[in-house]
Copies of this chain bind each other. A is one copy, B any other.
Amino acid sequence: MPVGASTAMLGSNLSALVTMTLLAQTPPPPYYAVIFSSVRTDDDEPGYAAAAQRMMELAASQPGFLGVDSARAEMGVTVSYWTSLEAIKRWRNHAEHQQARQQGRAQWYAAFRVRIARVERDYGWPESPGQPNRRA
């Protein structure tokens, strides 16, 4: 095989890996999702951005955290995944998280909605590395 072809394939594989690691990698269901939909005020973008980044890192260090998918444009949609309702409740009661939520209602969000859901089935494309094909 020419060296060029080999290098191109390596690049393509690395690119696919980077792409896939943007998406949350979760174990087979069942597990739980917290769907957080929100509309920002125009207020305090630096403070909001710093707090959002900090909450992502703090959530990721909590027991029972499985991953997160998040995007913000006209509105924000953040879905975090957890092993159990108990893990979600512990995170909800975390002191620093409670403080950030209070600031969110007071300053950062014009409106938001939180939904707690039990994930019953999932599939993807391409299939996650090391996971069997679970497409129904």
Contact = CB atoms under 8 A, between A and B. Distances in A.
Of residues A16, A24, A128, which shows the largest number of chain B Cβ atoms within 10 Å of its Cβ? Answer: A24
B113 A123 contact: yes
Nearest to A76: B71
Interface in A55-106: 69-79, 105
Chain A interface mostly helix, strand, loop or mixed? strand
B75 A113 contact: no
A19 interface: yes
A39 interface: yes
B119 A115 contact: yes
Given A24-B113, A119-B117, A105 B125 contact: yes
Given A33-B115, A79-B77, A120-B117, A39 B22 contact: yes
Given A33-B35, A122-B114, A78 B75 contact: no
A75 B117 CA distance: 21
